[in-house]
Structure 1
Amino acid sequence: MSLIHRYQNNGYNIVLDINSGCIHVVDEVTYEVLPYMEEGLDAAAIVGKLGNQFSEEDIRTSVAECEKLREEGMLFTKDVYENAIDAFTKNRQTVVKALCLHIAHDCNLACRYCFAEEGEYHGRRALMSFEVGKKALDFLIANSGSRHNLEVDFFGGEPLMNWQVVKDLVAYGREQEKIHNKKFRFTLTTNGVLLNDEVMEFCNKEMENVVLSVDGRKEVHDFMRPFRKGAGSYDLIMPKFQKFAESRNQDKYYVRGTFTHHNLDFSKDVLHLADLGFKQISVEPVVADPAEEYALREEDLPKIMEEYDLLAKEMIKREKEGKGFNFFHFMIDLTGGPCVYKRLSGCGSGTEYLAVTPWGDFYPCHQFVGEEEYLMGNVDDGLVRTDIQKEFSGCNVYTKPACKECFARFYCSGGCAANGYHAHQDIRSNYEIGCELQRKRVECAIMIKAALAED
């Protein structure tokens, strides 16, 4: 298993020390020296290998500098946490800290790629009652242990189709905060069709974050996110989204899009949103049945990789011009190294995070809703299927075979369990196309940091 990952991007020779998270931008000599050092060769042997490319003095200097980094724990570091995983999983006390409330299994759009089947999730249309939502919040409080901060996402379908219940549940949550010494962090995801001034005002007061669903350019958005009768939704939602983002001072929101086989040139969609003034942007690859005409395919990968490179270079340029914006998938924190807790715990679905249907059923996350084998319980009876919770608690980078050799494993925490399940019917498997794209995004994110650190 390699301890370092080397790559070249935008003129930079970059080396990631996988286990410590240390990033090194190196010269050409060091870039070529490092693989031989990892093999265990000494300076003399490396001179024998590279002496026809570089001077002996340069090679020996490079080896000496790399040895010093090794001694300081910044290069060729070992993974000190792998042996702790069994004890961590066995002794881990699980508390629930977040719920995704499916406040509406109904939608006023008919997005082609919607895993929720126009908001219906393999079943009937329904709106969550205040009573069910209240019980869900009570469950979260009761199962959160000593944790103070709790998260609740109002999700759908389209949550604004059940807006009064959203407001009532926020009010109930605020009452319970005082009683139980908790703090609710409410978030909302919306397609914007029903967005108005009253909703914006309420969200700006109560919602910690708001996700605004838009796919980018008008023709792309209208093709994938039409109304049920076929008309596009871009012209209706875009002015409202711009107004909303400004009202939140371009913070604590993000516009979120999905790119598919139909818009492999998605960097244009990201930049379109940036040109409209949005500062917080996420445009993510669709995850779909390979049989779907819009699904991403293996042969799409070179084009997608090229788009990430184009986007990264443009983001550097705009940042230096004072016109920067955040792109969700390029946002990684390189200051503290890979998060120990995340590498051991995974994404938290099925353990710390649950989805709640309109009628009060619990599932590991929103992408498992409707998969009856993953029905975990309900708001009346609590978590009945603790075996599912246990299965998810052991789902992390150390238990997923495909993660063992992946340099990016500590940045994605093993990836999405739902994607693995839908690809291979196994939550410990991986969605290969998603993994390839994750690795590319990590490389681009590190390169951007390197480029901006030069100034």
Structure 2
Amino acid sequence: MMEEEALSLLGLTLKGVTKVVHQYKNNGYNIVLDVNSGMVHVVDDLAYDIIALYKEESKENIVDMMWDKYSKENNFDVLAEDYPGLTKDSLKQEISNIYDEVTKMKEDGNLFTEDIYENYIGSFKKRETVVKALCLHIAHDCNLACRYCFAEEGEYHGRRALMSYEVGKQALDFLIANSGSRKNLEVDFFGGEPLMNFQVVKDLVAYGRSQEEIHNKKFRFTLTTNGVLLNDDIIEFANKEMSNVVLSIDGRREVNDTMRPFRNGKGSYDLIIPKFKKFADSRNQTNYYVRGTFTHNNLDFSEDVKHLAELGFEQISVEPVVAQDGETYAITVEDLPILMEEYDKLAKYIIERRKAGHWFNFFHFMIDLSGGPCVAKRLSGCGSGTEYLAVTPWGDLYPCHQFVGEEEYLMGTVFDGVKATDIREEFKSCNVYSKEKCKNCFAKFYCSGGCSANSFKFHGNINDTYDIGCELQRKRVECAIMIKAAEAE
């Protein structure tokens, strides 16, 4: 059975998808999201039902339909709790008043707003782009053998290798030369395991700092590590030079050690947990993430998030594995109802913890309702293939770390620059309106069309979507907005 067909049979494909507004109920809240403006309204049952009918029915019909529903004894008693003094004689007038309030919200530009971005997409495709971020594959090698690793234990469909200082220096020079007038530049030291090549990391940071004043640039360095080689000297250096550090761990000991063992099969949990706790505390619980992956083997992933929170970590990200059908650990369509409940459980847990004064942040529930990302981010996402590129240990350029080794997406080298400009143009044209599945999705301005690499892996092109990932993303957006509603209350 095709993935799309299975999703449809489960009633998931169309769930939560609408062109103008998205309505849903979560944890006792009736939430209405105006998709195009990003306005969120938390409403009572009557307003919720009126909004659902507003675009399809006349005012007269809606008043009659709401009277038929809410004049019934049980429904009336519940509604009266929200409307003190309400009587059945005044019910129709109250329904009419709420309808008029909805109309005013529409007239004020807070509900049923038009899409202002689609007409802009032509000029958006022609925008000038500069390179502002590099993912340096400082080590195509790793000291763990994670079972789900897309990098094949660091080899990326190729050979084991460590980046030399000369290649890394050229990469920084390439970034400076191709960043235009942009001052702030980002470099992520990635692997494999980058600490297996730590001296080169230090040397490249020093070189980058030496170039900042010369070229009027400012480097923001980040690091992703499994923690095996983490020690006091590295912690001291990271706290001085790394703006953010990602610490890889999957959660509970048995979960982590099943999927993230050493090559001899021994688990890594007991070794890395004390190091990670020390590191997180040394950064005052900011500017880092413990980042895990959940799979079909631990669908109760909310327990892994809870485990990490109860260990004292305040910045947590646990994300679904992306794996092809046939892998024993792959997320399946049948897993989705369980995972939806897990996200709901996690959202409620976060609210309870915060109310009790035990705050922690879950990366996938981060959402900015006051402003959010710029238009370019809303439409096209991470900037892979245009503003963000990955560099192999020998200097090849790819659209991002997940394309490394896919030869059809080799864009050039740090020595010769981007030669495959057609690839750059392909990514520049990739946006929420170039993907049919995104056009009418309520979450399109939050996920920006999803991951191009996942689209390529599942459909052979970058203008599709990873359907299971989309369902989970929509649920995460719903939970994130619900948490904001609870905090506002």
The corresponding residue for 2:178 is 143
**Contact 1:270/1:281 (<8 A) preserved:** yes
Aligned residue among 324, 329, 340 for 1:289: 324
Using the alignment, how far apart are the partners of 2:378 and 2:309 within structure 1? 32
User: 3-state SS of the aligned residue for 2:32?
Assistant: strand
The corresponding residue for 1:29 is 46
Larger radius of gyration: 2
Q: Runs of at least 4 residues of structure 1 off by over 3 A?
A: none
The corresponding residue for 2:150 is 115
In structure 2, stretches of 5+ residues that fail to align are 1-17, 71-90
1:337 deviation in Å? Answer: 5.5
1:359 deviation in Å? Answer: 0.3
Aligned residue among 397, 414, 418 for 2:449: 414
The answer to whether residue 327 in structure 2 is matched with residue 311 in structure 1 is no
**Contact 1:339/1:410 (<8 A) preserved:** no
The answer to whether residue 125 in structure 2 is matched with residue 89 in structure 1 is yes
1:18 deviation in Å? Answer: 0.2
What is the one-letter code of the residue matched to 2:30? N
Using the alignment, how far apart are the partners of 1:382 and 1:239 within structure 2? 42
Aligned residue among 98, 101, 106 for 1:65: 101
The corresponding residue for 1:198 is 233
What is the one-letter code of the residue matched to 2:300? D
* TM-score, with length taken from structure 1: 0.98
**Contact 1:270/1:283 (<8 A) preserved:** yes
Deviations along 1:49-95, one digit per CA (max 9) or x if unpaired, are 222113312221111111111111110000111011011212x1110
* TM-score, with length taken from structure 2: 0.91
Using the alignment, how far apart are the partners of 1:217 and 1:256 within structure 2? 13
The corresponding residue for 2:436 is 401
Aligned residue among 8, 24, 27 for 1:10: 27
1:2 deviation in Å? Answer: 2.3
In structure 1, stretches of 5+ residues that fail to align are none
**Contact 2:322/2:330 (<8 A) preserved:** yes
The answer to whether residue 58 in structure 2 is matched with residue 42 in structure 1 is yes
1:338 deviation in Å? Answer: 6.3
User: 3-state SS of the aligned residue for 2:426?
Assistant: helix
The answer to whether residue 93 in structure 2 is matched with residue 75 in structure 1 is no
The answer to whether residue 292 in structure 2 is matched with residue 257 in structure 1 is yes
What is the one-letter code of the residue matched to 1:52? D
1:346 deviation in Å? Answer: 2.8
Aligned residue among 42, 58, 68 for 1:52: 68
Q: After the TM superposition, which residues 349-388 of structure 1 pair with which residues of structure 2 at under 5 Å, given as runs?
A: 349-388=384-423
The range that moved more, 79-88 or 304-313, is 79-88
Using the alignment, how far apart are the partners of 1:20 and 1:339 within structure 2? 13
The corresponding residue for 1:217 is 252
Using the alignment, how far apart are the partners of 2:471 and 2:174 within structure 1? 38
1:45 deviation in Å? Answer: 2.0
Note the aligned Cα RMSD (angstroms).
0.9
1:3 deviation in Å? Answer: 0.5
The answer to whether residue 21 in structure 2 is matched with residue 19 in structure 1 is no
Deviations along 1:338-388, one digit per CA (max 9) or x if unpaired, are 642223333200000000000000000000000000000001110000000
**Contact 1:29/1:58 (<8 A) preserved:** no
User: 3-state SS of the aligned residue for 2:159?
Assistant: coil
The answer to whether residue 268 in structure 2 is matched with residue 233 in structure 1 is yes
Using the alignment, how far apart are the partners of 2:266 and 2:219 within structure 1? 38
Using the alignment, how far apart are the partners of 1:364 and 1:352 within structure 2? 9
What is the one-letter code of the residue matched to 1:250? Q
The answer to whether residue 476 in structure 2 is matched with residue 441 in structure 1 is yes
Using the alignment, how far apart are the partners of 1:67 and 1:381 within structure 2? 59
**Contact 2:379/2:449 (<8 A) preserved:** no
Using the alignment, how far apart are the partners of 1:50 and 1:254 within structure 2? 48
What is the one-letter code of the residue matched to 2:398? Y
The corresponding residue for 2:193 is 158
Report the count of equivalent residues. 452
